[in-house]
Amino acid sequence: MITSMTRYQHAKALMILGLPLIGSHVAQMLLHVTDTILLGWYGVTELAAVVVAGSAFFVVFILGSGFAQAIMPMVAQAIGRGDGQQVRRDARMGLWLSILFGMLTYPIFFWSQDILLALGQKPQIAQLGQDFLRIAGFGMIPALIIMALKSYLAALGRTQVVLWTTLLAVVVNIAIAYPLIFGVWGLPEWGVRGAATASVTVQIVNAVVLAIYAARLRDLRQYRLFQRFWRPDWHAFGQVFRLGWPIGVTGVLEAGLFQAATLMMGWIGTVELAAHGIAMQAASLTFMVHLGLASATTVRTGRFAGEGDAQGLRDGAKVAIAMSVGFGLITVVLFLALPRPILALFTDMTKPEAGAILAFGTKLLAMAALFQLTDAMQAMALGLLRGIRDTRAPMWAAGVSYWLIGIPASYFLAFPMELGGIGLWAGLVIGLLAAAASMMARFWMRAPKSGTTGAVPNL
């Protein structure tokens, strides 16, 4: 039976689901930050190699994570319909596709030196990058399994375990990476290989913990996720594949937008590139809030869609958008009012170039104020569309907005118009605004109208 919810009830439900997801995204960032700090202490060349290799791993991971992310709206809709069997079928085939993708991509990591050399990296960087990726590549399968299980558990409302396991991973990573990188406590000094070994170990442990939780928790046993896991379900396999690959491609398109912006900022100058990296770190940290809200919105939109509750779906969407905009406005005020204290958190003030970095970074944070709202809206639009299982059209919208509008606008404003880094970031805002506007318009056109009944059809 469908019952109406007040705006307060929508907001409360969204926060209960979303806060642990926000925390887990922040904790995931801490994993990368701790690795960067440890390798920065170890050696500049090793740090540079792992930054390059880690970026390559991340791009491949984002592409493959689309299948894992597809589990979230599919399971949420099945729960909304009360179809427990479909919950198991969709989640299981999402895990199948994630494992298959991880197996197929390992050769890329094994022969990564030639790829890195072809991309213009120095021989020593390419060799160290391959040393890292040949070990880290074994973590692709458990990393994708983690993503799939997180999506499954989030769709079932079990988001707190996602937070706690990610925080555990941060602690375990530090405990393993430090001695293996530096060779302390009687262990060998493995450098980049030690960092990779720690990452793989953490991913395996995290995957096992989540799998045991998903299989053994009393309330989740009814879904029998791993019962006869080897049995194929080709219909569900096809559905997850069709929904998941556009999600992965969309993620790569977005990641590529920021990689291209970083590359172009490097053409402008070293100080500008440093300020860009710091401002992007600050913006990325606040973006984790929007990303967590968007994931929670995907789950809730999927539930309403499965229940056939058009009014709840549209009301919930409005509340989610309002909450994201509200937090965005808070960060706008912070970025405009406190730019120097924010930048100082990421800057070594004893370095001679610190003043120039702070001066330019202050201008970038002013652009980041606009960046916050546009990036928040495109993330929320993607979350809403995934909740109604609409992923292919957003992929095309992302491609056009990021690569045919955003990147050309950044280049034109930065170089022919001679606006430098400020123009480059203005182009990013234009691209993200185009994505947010087109995706939001599509959601409100495709969302079921109030008063309609029955499950939302698959798009």
Averaged pLDDT of the chain = 86
Are 394 and 254 contacting, i.e. CB atoms less than 8 angstroms apart? no
- Measured distance CA(226)–CA(217) in Å, rounded: 13
Give the global pTM.
0.85
DSSP 221: G
Are 273 and 426 contacting, i.e. CB atoms less than 8 angstroms apart? no
- Measured distance CA(435)–CA(177) in Å, rounded: 39
Cα distances (angstroms) measured from residue 329 to each of 333, 372, 377, 427: 6, 8, 12, 21
Q: Max alpha carbon distance in the chain (Å)?
A: 69
Mean pLDDT of 9-13: 89
Q: What is the DSSP string of 118-138?
A: HTT--HHHHHHHHHHHHHHGG
DSSP 244: H
- Measured distance CA(410)–CA(421) in Å, rounded: 9
User: 380: closest CA among 320, 449, 433, 447?
Assistant: 320
- Burial code (b: 16+ CB inside 10 Å, e: under 16) for 8-43 equals eebbebbeebbbbbbbbbbbbbbbeebbeebbeebe
Q: What is the pLDDT of residue 348?
A: 62
Residue spans of the domains in the chain: they are 20-232, 244-459
Are 407 and 260 contacting, i.e. CB atoms less than 8 angstroms apart? yes
Are 100 and 68 contacting, i.e. CB atoms less than 8 angstroms apart? no
DSSP 223: G
Tokens encoding 403:
């690569």
Measure CA of the first residue to CA of the last residue in the chain; give whole Å: 25
User: 375: closest CA among 215, 237, 258?
Assistant: 258
Cα distances (angstroms) measured from residue 399 to each of 24, 114, 335, 396, 402: 28, 28, 29, 5, 5
Amino acid at residue number 102: G
- Measured distance CA(248)–CA(250) in Å, rounded: 5
Burial of 455 (0-12, 13-18, 19+ CB in 10 A): middle
Residue 28 pLDDT > 50? yes
Are 420 and 268 contacting, i.e. CB atoms less than 8 angstroms apart? yes
Residue 224 pLDDT > 80? yes
Q: Encode pLDDT of 252-294 as tens digits.
A: 998 888 888 877 887 888 778 778 777 887 888 888 888 889 9
Q: Which of 38-47, 84-93, 209-218, 279-288 has the lowest mean pLDDT?
A: 38-47
User: 72: closest CA among 162, 9, 136, 12?
Assistant: 162
Residues found in the chain: 459
What's the helix, strand, coil split of the chain in %, to 5?
85, 0, 15
Rounded to the nearest angstrom, the gap between the alpha carbon of residue 228 and the centroid of all alpha carbons in its chain is 31
Mean pLDDT of 109-123: 84
Mean pLDDT of 53-78: 89
- Measured distance CA(441)–CA(156) in Å, rounded: 28
Mean pLDDT of 113-119: 84
Burial of 167 (0-12, 13-18, 19+ CB in 10 A): middle
- Measured distance CA(388)–CA(305) in Å, rounded: 7
Coil, strand or helix at 143: helix
Amino acid at residue number 372: Q
Mean pLDDT of 346-352: 66
- Measured distance CA(148)–CA(145) in Å, rounded: 5
Burial of 76 (0-12, 13-18, 19+ CB in 10 A): buried
Residue 455 pLDDT > 60? no
Tokens encoding 7:
């705006």
- Measured distance CA(183)–CA(33) in Å, rounded: 20
Q: Encode pLDDT of 149-202 as tens digits.
A: 999 998 888 888 888 888 888 888 889 888 998 888 877 888 889 988 998 999
Q: Encode pLDDT of 435-452 as tens digits.
A: 999 999 999 999 887 655
Ramachandran quadrant class, 120 (left: phi over 0; alpha: psi -120 to 50; beta: rest): left
Tokens encoding 425:
């970031």
